[in-house]
């Protein structure tokens, strides 16, 4: 007898939304998360505000968590790691370890929602100096500081007088092999530049970019307000190196509009780190025999009209485990995966 | 104490996982091509030492049976680089070969847009590798230009079957084996691998010395995955060669903001715009080092960089710039630490920038050393000997 339960691996926004959708449709979702808390990257990275509306990230995640926590149609397994899988559509058996104990989980279909990890700027070594200079931080570090409501220079605890965002760190970079746009960083940097202005009303704020990719309504929601209302300077150019000189950082690079090299002193630099497949994404792709693309993200196989089906029947993937995705993409894909997975198992049970 | 949810730079841990390296391990392909009968791979002779490369893979560095690849332009300017290497080998009783049949790698022509075709370029590289293989020694290179060029040639040969066929045909005409070394090794890697043995034999205290380091562009910017990195040295964010050696000798390595910049040699400026090279070397490197770190010396590892940093300072001096910083190679400093003669072995008289104050700080009587050297030269002048021998250099 085929199972109608849907196994969801990953308890971030995508997994939470898929579980909620499946439960709302009257089916049972089994949500597996290897951390002890649900919430994924927004929770683990202590996100302060969401892009583009600057809504409180914790409130948003609480709302998502609450939708599944006391839901009779959702079984939640935290501290649980999937270590093996067998079976096929209608009869998947997933082997997992939960709190040191081996368990078997059965379901008719699987949704992989294992997400992304932030690019480690140390991979670019001397280019960005993240491991050498206290005042070089990442978007994730900045989120943590905003959440703590204390945005200062890590080196001396003083408010920065000048802050630069460097775009495309670990994205659109053939040299390191990430030949893709991470999609969200331009929006997140613009959002964060507005937050920096809140904490540092007199600071000079710059965003150094290759080209700004402001999808859909982000153009009016954050890009123009950042410039017109919050006086953020967007400089078209590539930063090639960040060094320290005295108490300041120096951003070296090229201003491509003015066609000349630039060396700009800064108090703080925020690296707009891109997305890479998470360790969990790569591991789960191997466990389920799901095809990955050359970057390690899970490959969906039917092009733009079906963004969640994989090469393994009954195994679906949603959100940033399939490639760079913003929250809107991830939540939409979660809904699609919920629908497709239920559709797949229902065809079996109805036929039977 | 500042309490922030952000780690200080020194507490941020950069994890290097060779399994997730963004670049291929070319050696896998090299050995696969050997299995397919495409070429012979010359193994690194034992005993070898292993150092970690940028993405966490291990690189074999031969200790002996080394074939000394020379630098055509630069050996003339800084002959003490090679003689220091030979002296170190002899001091440790290591077997090395100083070939007389090496050809120029011809990569110098890159600088003037005068390169020949890829097959000819690659054939010259493979001819030199074959020469080393035929006598049973493993090539090691100190010229940054050759080193970078050979790494690129190796990459091209692995990935371009047509080029391999063309070069193989040329080697057959020459009657040479088609052989590629397992590793392309730079001498500063050898010096780094030997650093503990060098430090054990150190007779000159260098703990009062502050040095700045210039890593060569051709070493760590071309095929960067092949350069040596160490978590203990700048958190593996900068190459470990030179710095690791100097630290083992007790030298204080000081930072300066333009460390990543070129020495001024440029990829073509030294040939087509030499004034630019001089200005860059003085204003972007030497002056910055002096202003920010006030070092006793700057140490580098490519003979081109030694030459440019050393022999550009006269121009700065003429313009009243703050110059006068001695420049040496890591091999020279290593030999000096072990007691090598500053003129007979290090050949510091070929250096343009005055290094007497540096020698005095180390407690070396440069006047006496110079007199010893002149005495040898007098004997040659007087026809009492044809040239200096290693016995004379002791």
Give the residue from A44, A127, A131, A266 with the most B CB atoms within 10 Å of its CB, the best one to mutate.
A131
CB contact under 8 A, A122 and B235: yes
Say whether domain B18-187 belongs to CATH 1.10.3720.10.
no
The DSSP secondary structure of A194-251, one letter per residue, reads HHHHHH-TT-EEEEEES-----TTHIIIIIHHHHHTT-EEEEEEEEEEEEEETTEEEE
Nearest CA in chain B to A151: B4
Query: By CA distance, what is B56's nearest residue in A?
Result: A123
The CATH classification number of A6-115+278-351 equals 3.50.50.60
Structure-token match 């005095």, residue found: B360
Residue among B9, B22, B257 whose CB faces A123 most closely: B22
Task: Provide the pairing of β-strand B138-141 with B185-186.
Answer: parallel
**Contacts A150 to B, Cβ<8 Å:** 4
- Residue B114: pLDDT band by 50, 70, 90 thresholds? low
Nearest residue in A to B24, CA atom: A177
Pure H helices in chain B: 26-35, 74-77, 80-91, 118-135, 144-159, 161-174, 187-193, 195-200, 217-220, 243-248, 269-272, 274-280, 287-293, 303-311, 313-318, 330-337, 356-361, 366-381
Percent of chain B with pLDDT over 90: 79
Residue A222, pLDDT > 90, answer yes
Whole-number percent of chain A with pLDDT over 90: 83
Q: Which residues does chain B have within 8 Å of residue A177's beta carbon, measured at their own beta carbons?
A: 22-23
What would the pLDDT profile of B220-249 be if each residue is shown by its tens digit? 988 899 999 998 998 888 999 999 999 999
Q: CA of B277 to nearest chain A CA: how many angstroms apart?
A: 17
Q: How confident is the model at residue B19 (pLDDT cuts 50, 70, 90)?
A: confident
What does DSSP say about strands A248-255 and A260-266: parallel, antiparallel, or unpaired? antiparallel
Question: Has residue A118 got a pLDDT over 70?
Answer: yes
Contact B268, B113 (CB under 8 A): yes
How distant is the Cα of B237 from the closest Cα of chain A, in angstroms?
A: 5
pLDDT in tens, B334-366: 999 999 999 999 999 999 999 999 999 999 999
The whole-number pLDDT of residue B71 equals 87
CA distance B218 to B206: 28
Can you read off the two tokens belonging to residue B107? 């990569």
Residue in chain B closest to A124 (alpha carbons) equals B237
Q: Does position B5 have pLDDT exceeding 90, yes or no?
A: no
| CA dist., res. B82 & res. B142, Å (int) | 8
- Are the beta carbons of A126 and B9 separated by less than 8 Å? no
pTM listed for this prediction = 0.82
Q: Give the residue from B14, B232, B237 with the most A CB atoms within 10 Å of its CB, the best one to mutate.
A: B237
CATH of A120-274, one of 1.10.10.10, 3.30.450.20, 3.40.50.300, 3.50.50.60: 3.50.50.60
Which residue in B218, B97, B206, B99 sits closest to B152, CA to CA? B218
Q: Domains of chain A: which residue ranges? A: 6-115+278-351, 120-274
Q: What is the mean pLDDT of residues B27-42?
A: 97
Chain B nearest-CA distance from A260, in A, is 17
Q: What is the mean pLDDT of chain A?
A: 94
Provide the token pair at B233. 């040295």
Give strand pairing partners of A137: A270
Query: Which one is predicted more confidently, B258 or A337?
Result: A337
Q: Which residue of B has its CA nearest to A173?
A: B22
Q: Which residues of A touch B (CB under 8 A)?
A: 46, 120, 122-123, 125-126, 129-134, 136-137, 141, 144-145, 147-148, 150, 152, 154, 156-157, 176-178, 241, 243-245, 250
Residues 6+ apart with CB under 8 A from A24: none
DSSP 3-state assignment of A12?
coil
Which of B3-7, B242-246, B366-370 is the least confident region?
Answer: B3-7
On the question of pLDDT at B109 being above 80, the answer is: no
CA distance B340 to chain A (A): 35
Q: Tell me the pLDDT of chain B averaged across its residues.
A: 93
Out of B2, B22, B234, closest to residue A132 by CB: B234
Q: Give A264's contacts in chain B (Cβ within 8 Å).
A: none
The contacts of residue B112 (CB under 8 Å, 6+ apart) are B268, B271, B272
Under an 8 A CB cutoff, do A46 and B5 touch? yes
What per-residue confidence (pLDDT) applies to A125?
A: 63
Per-residue exposure over B370-381, b if at least 16 CB sit within 10 Å of its own CB, e if not: beebeebeeeee
Span A229-233, average pLDDT: 95
Cα B189 to chain centroid distance, Å, stands at: 8
Question: What CA–CA distance (Å, rounded) separates A311 from A291?
Answer: 6
pLDDT at A126: 62
Calpha distance B187→B241 (Å, rounded) = 10
In a mutagenesis test of the B interface, which of A46, A125, A128, A178 is the best target, namely the one with the most B β-carbons within 10 Å?
A: A125
Architecture of domain B201-373: 3-Layer(aba) Sandwich (3.40)
In angstroms, the CA A22 to CA A6 distance is 8
| B8–A134 C-beta distance less than 8 A | yes
Cα of A81 to nearest chain B Cα, Å: 21
Report the pLDDT averaged over residues A311-322: 97
Per CB-CB distance under 8 Å, the chain A contacts of B8 are 134, 154
Predicted confidence band at B75 (pLDDT cuts at 50, 70, 90)?
confident
What is the distance in angstroms between the Cα of B1 and the nearest Cα belonging to chain A? 9
Question: Residue A255's pLDDT is what?
Answer: 87
B5 and A243 within 8 Å at the Cβ level: the answer is no
Q: Which of A238-247, B301-310, B311-320 has the lowest mean pLDDT?
A: A238-247
User: B149-163 pLDDT, tens per residue?
Assistant: 999 999 999 999 999
In the block, tokens 């703050």 appear at: B322
pLDDT of A324 > 70? The answer is: yes
Residue with the bigger pLDDT between B20 and B297: it is B297
For residue B5, the distance in angstroms to the closest alpha carbon of chain A comes to: 6
Mean local confidence (pLDDT), A38-56: 91
| Cβ-nearest to A126 among B9, B12, B238 | B238
Gap from A138 CA to chain B (nearest CA, Å): 10
- Show the tokens assigned to A46: 């202590």
3-class SS of residue A270: strand
d(CA B106, CA B110): 8
* ipTM of the complex, rounded to two decimals: 0.71
Rounded Cα distance between A279 and A334, Å, is 20
CA distance A296 to chain B (A): 10
CB contact under 8 A, A126 and B23: no
A122 with B258: Cβ contact below 8 A: no
Does residue A69 surpass a pLDDT of 60? yes
CB of B316 closer than 8 Å to CB of B275? no
Contact A245 B292 (CB under 8 A): yes
Q: State the pLDDT at residue B306.
A: 95
Contacts with B171 (C-beta within 8 Å, 6 or more apart), sequence order = B123, B126, B127, B130, B177, B178
- Shortest distance, CA B171 to any CA of chain A (angstroms): 33
pLDDT score recorded for residue B192? 98
What SS3 class is residue A186?
helix
- The set of residues, in sequence order, having a beta carbon less than 8 Å from that of A114 and lying 6+ positions away, is A9, A10, A278, A280, A281, A283, A284, A321
Question: Higher model confidence: residue A178 or residue A127?
Answer: A178
Site from B2, B240, B262, B291 to mutate, A interface, most A CB atoms within 10 angstroms = B2
All CATH 1.20.1050.140 domain ranges of chain B, comma separated, are 18-187
Q: Give yes or no for residue A258 having a pLDDT over 60.
A: yes
Query: In chain A, which residues have their Cβ closer than 8 Å to the Cβ of B5?
Result: 46, 141, 144-145, 147-148
What pLDDT score was predicted for residue A351? 59
The count of CB pairs under 8 A between chains A and B is 71
Name the residue in chain A with its Cα closest to that of B14.
Answer: A122
Identity of the residue in B235, B237, B257 whose CB atom sits nearest the CB atom of A250: B257
- Rounded distance, CA A75 to CA A71, Å? 8
Range with the lowest mean pLDDT among A65-74, A274-283, B262-271?
B262-271
Q: A350 pLDDT exceeds 80? A: no
Report CB contact under 8 Å: B12, A241.
no
Question: For residues B138 and B113, is the Cβ–Cβ distance under 8 A?
Answer: no
Q: How far is A27 from chain B (nearest CA, A)?
A: 39
What is the tens place of the pLDDT at every residue in A261-297? Answer: 889 999 999 999 999 999 999 999 999 999 999 999 9
User: How much is the pLDDT for B268?
Assistant: 74
């Amino acid at each position: 007898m085929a199972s109608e339960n849907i196994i969801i691996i990953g308890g971030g926004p995508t997994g939470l939304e898929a579980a909620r959708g499946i439960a709302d449709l009257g089916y049972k979702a089994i949500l597996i998360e290897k951390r002890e808390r649900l919430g994924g990257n927004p929770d683990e990275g202590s996100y302060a505000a969401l892009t583009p509306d600057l809504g409180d990230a914790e409130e948003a995640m609480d709302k998502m968590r609450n939708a599944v926590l006391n839901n009779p149609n959702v079984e939640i397994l935290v501290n649980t790691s999937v270590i093996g899988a067998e079976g096929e559509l209608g009869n998947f058996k997933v082997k997992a370890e939960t709190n040191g104990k081996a368990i078997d989980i059965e379901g008719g279909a699987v949704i992989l929602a294992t997400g992304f990890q932030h690019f480690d700027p140390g991979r670019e070594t001397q280019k960005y100096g993240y491991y050498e200079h206290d005042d070089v931080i990442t978007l994730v570090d900045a989120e943590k500081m905003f959440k703590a409501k204390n945005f200062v220079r890590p080196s001396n605890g003083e408010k920065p007088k000048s802050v630069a965002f460097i775009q495309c760190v670990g994205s659109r970079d053939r040299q390191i092999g990430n030949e893709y746009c991470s999609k969200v960083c331009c929006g997140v940097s613009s959002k964060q530049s507005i937050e920096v202005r809140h904490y540092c009303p007199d600071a000079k704020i710059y965003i150094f970019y290759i080209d700004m990719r402001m999808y859909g309504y982000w153009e009016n929601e954050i890009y123009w307000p950042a410039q017109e209302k919050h006086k953020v300077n967007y400089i078209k150019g590539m930063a090639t190196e960040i060094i320290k000189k005295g108490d300041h950082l120096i951003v070296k690079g090229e201003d491509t509009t003015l066609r000349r090299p630039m060396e700009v002193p800064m108090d703080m630099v925020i690296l707009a780190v891109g997305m890479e497949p998470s360790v969990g994404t790569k591991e789960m792709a191997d466990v389920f025999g799901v095809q990955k693309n050359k970057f390690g993200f899970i490959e969906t196989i039917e092009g733009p009209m079906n963004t969640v089906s994989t090469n393994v029947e009954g195994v679906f993937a949603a959100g940033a485990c399939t490639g760079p995705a913003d929250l809107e993409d991830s939540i939409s894909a979660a809904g699609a995966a919920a629908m497709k997975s239920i559709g797949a198992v229902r065809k079996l049970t109805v036929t039977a | 104490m500042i309490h922030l949810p952000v780690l200080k730079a020194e507490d941020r841990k950069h994890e290097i996982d060779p399994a997730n390296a963004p670049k291929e391990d070319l050696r896998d392909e090299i050995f696969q091509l050997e299995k397919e009968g495409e070429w012979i791979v010359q193994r690194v002779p034992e005993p070898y030492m292993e150092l970690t490369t940028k993405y966490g893979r291990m690189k074999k560095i031969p200790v002996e049976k080394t074939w000394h690849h020379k630098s055509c332009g630069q050996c003339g300017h800084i002959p003490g680089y090679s003689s220091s290497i030979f002296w170190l080998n002899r001091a440790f009783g290591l077997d090395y070969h100083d070939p007389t049949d090496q050809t120029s790698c011809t990569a110098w022509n890159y600088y003037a847009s005068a390169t020949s075709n890829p097959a000819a370029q690659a054939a010259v590289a493979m001819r030199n590798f074959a020469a080393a293989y035929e006598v049973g020694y493993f090539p090691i290179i100190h010229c940054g230009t050759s080193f970078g060029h050979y790494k690129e040639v190796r990459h091209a040969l692995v990935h371009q079957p047509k080029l391999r066929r063309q070069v193989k045909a040329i080697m057959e005409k020459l009657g040479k084996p088609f052989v590629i070394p397992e590793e392309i090794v730079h001498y500063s890697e050898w010096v780094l691998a030997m650093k503990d043995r060098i430090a054990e034999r150190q007779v000159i205290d260098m703990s009062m010395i502050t040095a700045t380091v210039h890593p060569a562009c051709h070493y760590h910017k071309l095929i960067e995955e092949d350069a040596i990195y160490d978590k203990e040295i700048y958190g593996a964010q900068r190459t470990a060669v030179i710095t690791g050696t100097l630290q083992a000798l007790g030298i204080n390595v000081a930072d300066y903001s333009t460390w990543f910049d070129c020495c001024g040699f440029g990829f073509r400026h030294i040939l087509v715009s030499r004034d630019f090279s001089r200005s860059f070397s003085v204003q972007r490197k030497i002056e910055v080092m002096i202003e920010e770190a006030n070092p006793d010396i700057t140490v580098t590892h490519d003979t081109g960089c030694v030459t440019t940093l050393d022999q550009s300072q006269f121009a700065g001096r003429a313009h009243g710039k703050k110059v006068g910083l001695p420049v040496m190679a890591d091999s020279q400093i290593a030999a000096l630490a072990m007691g090598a003669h500053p003129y007979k072995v290090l050949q510091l008289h070929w250096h343009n920038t005055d290094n007497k104050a540096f020698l005095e700080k180390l407690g070396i009587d440069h006047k006496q050393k110079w007199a010893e050297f002149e005495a040898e030269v007098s004997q040659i002048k007087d026809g009492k000997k044809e040239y200096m021998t290693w016995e004379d250099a002791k």
